[in-house]
Amino acid sequence: MTRSPRPRRVHQLLAALSYGDAISNEALAIQGHLSAAGFDSDIFAEKVHPRMAHLARPLWEYRDASSPQTICLLHLSIGSAAGRLAFHSSDPLVAIYHNITPASFFLGFHPHLAGLCHHGRREVAAFASRAELGLGDSEYNRRELETAGFRRTAVLPIVLDLSLYDRPPSPVVRRLYEDDRTNILFVGRIIPNKRIEDLVRVFAAYQRWVEPRSRLLLVGDHRGFERYFDRLRELVSELRLDEVVFTGQVDDDELYAYYRVADLFLCLSEHEGFCVPLQEAMHFGVPVVAFDAGAVRETLHGGGVLLSDKRPAEVAELLGRLRRDEGLRREVLATQERAMSEVRATDFGSLLLDRLRPVLEGEPGEA
């Protein structure tokens, strides 16, 4: 029996290629590794940020690139035309699942996105019989693929390009916030599943009872969630808080500066399929305190401090201890350094090719 030639084209489909977005950054990293391994590899996206326009092709052009000899890597993160196009193509399909936030988090704030998430989660089950392989970027996500009916699954973690973080930070951000205040940092979109209101309530307890000279830095885009953003500002006003800073979307050099001025990183999100900022904070040597939800425990790799509840007074006191107790701070930072050593030791290029090997070699999936 003559074996079909190994595919030399491995393309990626995304709902959007965005600036500063973890999924977009991973797609670019995957493209780089595939190209280095000798594959033709393009990114096709339904929506493309103007700053990323030179890095992607319009989604509709994929019809011309599609063939049974082309492997399609579909990033599943929301219901989109990219998913529908991939589903009906003739290509061997690999689904890369980043998790889809349950629609219930967005009801009352963003009905359109709630609908997209609802349909996106339905699509995951539909792809179970279409995809030859399902890759989750955490074991948490892999289990969801398994539950949805995927026959063959594996974990392909998001691995950071840590060299990027060595670039010069914004001097403006450092001048603004590198002072004698304690800076508590959160990085992520200002959306309901991140539970920004819980961060604000913890900060209220911290500023009132632990350290009055403190600041909450909320670094992330709120566009599309203006109703939620307005609720948060009302809460800040009701609690009469000082120094709660909503930065909006920031450039990379500004992001690096926010990590450098931070004294503590706090995440109280209730739904995370991975959570890249946790690893970024650990890389920058910022003590991390995070609520144990979704894939947060996996992302931390044993580093930082995990919370089992979010009572504001208790979390605030813990933050105070991490700030005051140098021994405790060193102990937490040591756990984080061990965690990041594991991340740095990951050969993502080899891991990617190993995960794709069954599809690249045309191995039949499990019945």
pLDDT at 2: 43
Pick the closest to residue 216 from 190, 253, 192 (CA basis).
190
Residue for token digits 């350094």?
Answer: 337
The DSSP secondary-structure symbol of 2 reads P
Strand 182-187, strand 288-291: pairing: unpaired
Count of other CB atoms within 10 angstroms of residue 341: 11
Q: Where do the DSSP E strands lie in 110-200?
A: 133-136, 153-155, 182-187
Query: Where does 9-159+346-360 sit in CATH, by number?
Result: 3.40.50.2000
Put the strands of the sheet holding 182-187 in their side by side order: 244-248, 214-219, 182-187, 264-267, 288-291, 305-307
C-alpha dist (Å) from residue 145 to 50, 105, 166, 172, 231:
33, 21, 35, 44, 34
pLDDT at 127: 92
| Domain residue ranges in the chain | 9-159+346-360, 163-344
Q: What angle do CA 227, 46, 137 make, to 5 degrees?
A: 80
Distance (Å, rounded) from C-alpha 264 to C-alpha 182? 8
Side-chain-side CA neighbours of 258 within 13 Å: the count stands at 26
248 pairs with which residues across the strands?
A: 219, 220
Q: Which residue type occupies 12?
A: Q
The b-or-e profile of 168-190 (16+ CB within 10 A means b, else e) is ebbeebbeebeeebbbbbbbbbb
Question: Do the first three CATH levels of 9-159+346-360 and 163-344 match, i.e. the same topology?
Answer: yes
Query: Where does 163-344 sit in CATH, by number?
Result: 3.40.50.2000
| pTM, 2 dp | 0.90
Q: Is 301 left (phi over 0), alpha (psi -120 to 50) or beta?
A: left
134 pairs with which residues across the strands?
A: 95, 153
Which ranges of the chain have pLDDT less than 70? Answer: 1-7, 79, 363-367
